[in-house]
Amino acid sequence: MTSYEIRVGGEIPADVLDRIGEVDAVRAAGTTIEVTLTDEAALWGLIEVLRTAGIEMLEVRRHSQEAPVDP
């Protein structure tokens, strides 16, 4: 799974957040949501939800994944 940070202009209505599903964090100042998704198709599905709701996306950033450390 991959974590993404998505910054949008304005607020995301509660019903749109419900359609997105598991959101790890929401921060104001515009709105930034953090979400962990299973694959790229899930990312495109989330983007479509935001577009359909008329929400302006300003930035989508993938968080780097650290490799597991062997004991």
pLDDT tens track for 10-48: 777 788 878 877 777 676 666 778 888 888 888 888 888
pLDDT (0 to 100) of residue 66: 53
71, pLDDT greater than 60: no
Q: CATH for 2-62, among 2.102.10.10, 3.40.640.10, 3.30.70.980, 3.20.20.140? A: 3.30.70.980
To the nearest 5 percent, what fractions of the chain are helix, strand and coil?
A: 30, 35, 35
- Confidence band, pLDDT 50/70/90 cuts, at residue 57: confident
Please state the pTM of the whole predicted model.
0.53
Residue reference for tokens 């921060």:
27
The whole-number average pLDDT for the span 47-65 is 81
Residue ranges per domain, the chain? 2-62
